[in-house]
């Protein structure tokens, strides 16, 4: 009886997982479909959209109207720059919280996480004024700093959980062998937590790549990333569905490709320390 039940349960689980995956992926799939349609066909009923002709005109129009590669490189620089700058701060901070005894560690972690609960619009005006005073408005450096500070609590939390899975005795042995604090962090702790650090990098690159609120409010043209590139196709004249879909596909394609090729590292990092 148990043998007969196991395949049925496995098939049911697979069906449910497949259905949920399709539901989550369907918006992206529909955007891809609309990107290959004309503006007239894009606003038709779904069945009419699927039966209409396919064209690359929207991609050509998007490239003619906007400099895609400028926005693309802005997104690359801002997302990678904010992530690696955050790692420079988060690795020592997570090390201290994971291996230096203290009763306030949990309180500090909760305080840092509570900053993510503040609505971004609540601090928009002071940050905007600071950007104007320091000449950081519409600059990559300004966005790198802001996105690093926004994602820093998540980076520290993730690294803290990974570092806690590493036995403290290994670090103590390194100290007994004469390793300095810098050598302990760089040559002992970091290599052992590499899967967790890799998954942290991937997740925060995605978060920075998709950030829209700050990039739309703190940039104009020079440092505008792909989020601003997409938003430019929403105008008072109306929504250009086909062109907007083409711009969206061009914006999400790089991060989808990166996630596809790095999914093994991401899963390995997220399950790091789960099995003893």
SS3 content of the chain, % helix, strand, coil (to 5): 80, 0, 20
User: Which pLDDT score is estimated for 265?
Assistant: 65
Distance, in Å, from the CA atom of 77 to the CA atom of 214, rounded to the nearest integer, reads: 15
The residue-averaged pLDDT of 105-121 equals: 82
User: Which pLDDT score is estimated for 269?
Assistant: 57
Q: Quick: pLDDT tens for 54-71.
A: 888 888 888 888 888 899
Q: Quick: pLDDT tens for 212-269.
A: 899 989 988 888 899 888 888 776 566 778 888 898 999 988 888 887 777 766 666 5
Contact in structure between 188 and 125 (CB atoms under 8 Å): no
Q: Which fold has domain 61-270?
A: MetI-like fold (1.10.3720)
pTM above 0.85, yes or no: no
Q: 74, 99, 270: which is closest to 172 by C-alpha?
A: 99
User: Which pLDDT score is estimated for 235?
Assistant: 66
Looking at per-residue pLDDT, the higher value among 189 and 211 belongs to 211
Distance, in Å, from the CA atom of 104 to the CA atom of 212, rounded to the nearest integer, reads: 34
Does the pLDDT at position 270 exceed 80?
no
Q: Quick: pLDDT tens for 189-207.
A: 888 888 888 888 888 998 9
Q: Quick: pLDDT tens for 129-177.
A: 999 999 899 999 999 999 999 999 989 988 888 888 888 788 888 888 8
User: Which pLDDT score is estimated for 78?
Assistant: 95
Contact in structure between 49 and 34 (CB atoms under 8 Å): yes
At 274, the pLDDT band (50, 70, 90 cuts) reads very low
Percent of the chain with pLDDT over 90: 21
- Kindly report the length of the chain: 276
């Amino acid at each position: 009886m148990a043998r007969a039940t196991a395949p049925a349960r496995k098939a049911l689980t697979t069906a449910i997982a497949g259905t949920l995956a399709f539901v989550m992926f369907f918006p992206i799939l529909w955007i891809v479909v609309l990107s290959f349609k004309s503006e007239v066909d894009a606003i038709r009923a779904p069945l009419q959209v699927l039966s209409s002709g396919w064209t690359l005109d929207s991609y050509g129009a998007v490239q003619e109207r906007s400099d895609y590669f400028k926005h693309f490189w802005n997104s690359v620089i801002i997302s990678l720059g904010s992530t690696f700058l955050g790692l420079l701060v988060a690795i020592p901070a997570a090390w201290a919280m994971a291996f230096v005894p203290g009763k306030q560690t949990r309180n500090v972690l909760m305080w840092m996480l509570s900053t993510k609960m503040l609505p971004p619009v609540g601090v928009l005006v002071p940050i905007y004024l600071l950007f104007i005073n320091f000449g950081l408005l519409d600059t990559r450096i300004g966005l790198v700093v802001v996105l690093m500070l926004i994602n820093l609590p998540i980076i520290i939390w993730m690294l803290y959980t990974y570092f806690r899975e590493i036995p403290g005795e290994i670090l103590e042995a390194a100290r007994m062998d004469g390793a300095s604090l810098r050598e302990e962090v760089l040559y002992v702790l970091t290599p052992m937590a590499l899967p967790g650090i890799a998954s942290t990098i991937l997740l925060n690159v995605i978060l920075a790549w998709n950030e829209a609120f700050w990039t739309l409010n703190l940039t104009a043209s020079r440092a505008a990333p792909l989020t601003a590139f997409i938003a430019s196709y929403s105008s008072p004249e109306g929504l250009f569905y086909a062109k907007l879909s083409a711009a969206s596909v061009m914006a999400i394609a790089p991060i989808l490709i990166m996630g596809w090729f790095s999914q093994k590292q991401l899963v390995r990092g997220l399950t790091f320390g789960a099995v003893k």
